Amino acid sequence: MILFNEKLVRKRNRAERRFRAYGILSLLAAASVLLFLVYTIVSSGYSAFFRTTLLMDVQLNAAHMDITSPYTRDVLMQGRYTSLVKTSLYARFPGVSERRERRALSKLLSPGAELVVRDYVINHPESIGATVALEVPLSSDFDQLYKEHLPRTGEHIRFSEVQLRWFDQLQEEGRLNYRFNTQFLFGGDSRYPELAGIGGAVVGSFYALSVCFLLAFPLGIAAATYLEEFSGNTRLTRIIEANINNLAAVPSVIFGLLGLAIFLNVFGLPRSTPLVGGFVLSLMTLPTIIIATRASIRSVSPGIRQAALGMGASPVQVVFHHVLPAAMPGTLTGTIIGLAQALGETAPLLMIGMVAFIANVPATPLDASAALPVQIFLWAESAERGFVEKTSAAMMVIMAFLILMNILAVIVRSKTQAKVE
């Protein structure tokens, strides 16, 4: 007979199930927070990829624009488009003539409207004098109204009765359109949510990461190679190792202080630039790359080494011709993961002044610029309702980049691995 203490067995099995349930619950909790986070971001952010435009007939009257022939680019750039846009808008609502009402009416449109007109005129100087139908952006509040993010009624209502009437009228006439917002993806930052874009920040991040890669990748491989292949177990080696391990765990804000005190104040490198951002990020990425590279160098089979040495290759040749190529998959994967971490770093970039408001897309790594995570921080701190969706959308973009980089890491690993084998 197999012995049972029924009561005890039941109790122990209950404890077993409970313990197991804790594990499942923990994983479920983590998963549901993740889902909730992603849901919050996507649900509030997807609308930022679209914006509301008004289809407006604009009479390109040269006198209104205050320009005279010849219509060179410089002349056209100097033109006065604000009044042209306003005139065109007032023309839609002939009944509105009082100054105050007209001002309320002009609040429907974004300050970006005149830029649309200007760009059109510059690209089509031949159409001056004609009347064209242009799609110009609505101001942020009305854009949000169209997206039903702002209430029409209630305590903190941002619209007057007449403004709502005009808005409804335009909507009924089918003049309001919901368009994909290319300016958001490619434009620079702006004080106006409907005009703000992450293009500048993306380029800034790209420059910073490029600098980071160019510095950290060779240095990381070199340092790892030295530690794995050429250093004995000396005191220096142990100090270097301890240093690398500790650097990997130093809070990122400390690296920001380093960047501020050393790169900016001692070396006098330009503030707010992706160059300095890249320097700081490379110092942070270095330990990741070194650790990953060392691990993959260590996993290269000693057979390769001995065979090459036996063929008369020098130790340096063995490392550069045989060991490092074989260790490449791990190195690249580690590098990409390090760069992905660097892409999300915010605090050190704040320290070196990459928080300035910069409306231009930077042309070189030496131009002042924002970076993606910093842009998110800036927008998150803005009060306007219109920036909430921009913030979420920017987070969608940064996470998309992170996912892409991680997929890249997986592909690189499997591809190069297949080659090595």
Partner 1 sequence: MVLWCAMPMIMVVLCWLVVEPWFVRPIVMQTLGSVAGQQAGAPAFQYLEIRNIAAGVLPGTSASDAVMHAVEQYKSLLRTASMAFSVMFLMAGVLGFYRGYKKLTVDFPAREQVEKFVRFFLLASSMVAILTTLSIVLALVVEALRFFKHVPLLDFLLGLKWSPQVAIRADQVGSSGAFGAIPLFAGTLLIAFIAMLVAVPIGLFSAIYLAEYARPSVRSVTKPMLEILAGIPTVVYGFFAALTVAPLIVKVGGTIGLNASSESALAAGLVMGVMIIPFISSLSDDVINAVPTSLRFGSLAMGATRSETIRKVILPASLPGIMGAILLAVSRAIGETMIVVMAAGLAANLTANPLESVTTVTAQIVTILVGDQEFDSPKTLAAFALGLTLFCVTLALNFLALKIVRRYEERYD
Partner 2 sequence: MSSVMTAETTEASEKVINQVQDGPIVVRPEKGVDIKMSAEGVSVFYGDKQALDDISIDIHSKQITALIGPSGCGKSTFLRCLNRMNDVVGGCRINGRITMDGEDIYAPRVDVASLRGQVGMVFQKPNPFPKSIFDNVAYGPRIHGYAQHRDEIEEIVVRSLSKASLFEEVKDRLHDPATGLSGGQQQRLCIARAIAVNPEVLLMDEPCSALDPIATARIEDLMWELKEKFTIIIVTHSMQQASRVSQRTGFFHMGVLAEVGTTEQIFQNPVDNRTRDYITGRFG
Which residues of this chain interact with partner 2, rule CB under 8 A? 1-5, 8-9, 12-13
Nearer to partner 2, 13 or 40 (CB): 13
- Complex with partner 1: residue 13 or 59, whichever CB lies closer: 13
Instruction: At 238, list the tokens.
Output: 């142990």
Decide whether 85 or 340 has the Cβ nearer to partner 1.
340
**Of residues 374-393, those binding partner 1 (CB under 8 A):** 374, 376-377, 380-381, 388, 391-392
Least Å distance, CB 420 to partner 2, is 29
**DSSP SS3 for 133:** strand
First to last CA, the chain: 57
CB of 16 to partner 1, least distance (A): 5
Stretch that binds partner 1, among 62-70, 121-129, 156-164, 263-271 (CB under 8 A): 263-271
Q: How far is the CB of 13 from partner 2 (least distance, A)?
A: 8
Q: At what angle do helices 372-381 and 199-225 cross, to 10 degrees?
A: 140
Residue 191 touches partner 1, criterion: CB under 8 A: no
| CA-based nearest residue to 198, from 416, 390, 413 | 390
Min separation Cβ 32 and partner 2, Å:
28
- Residue 48: which residues within 8 A CB-CB, separation 6 or more? 181, 184, 389, 390, 392, 393
Select from 238, 250, 240 the least CA-distant residue to 283. 250
In the complex, least distance from residue 11 CB atom to partner 1, rounded to whole angstroms = 11
Please identify which residue in the block is written with the tokens 């993606």.
Answer: 372
Quote the least distance from Cβ 277 to partner 1, whole Å: 14
The residues facing 178 across adjacent strands are 52
Give a three-class secondary structure readout of 343-367: HHCCHHHHHCCCCCCCCCCCCCCCC
> Looking at 91, 214, 222, 420, which residue binds partner 1 (CB under 8 A)?
222
53 binds, among partner 1, partner 2, none (CB under 5 to 8 A by kind): none
- In the region spanning residues 230 to 249, those forming contacts with partner 1, defined by CB under 8 A, are 230-231, 239-240, 243-247, 249
Give SS3 for 193: coil
Of the pair 3, 133, the CB lying nearest partner 2 is at 3
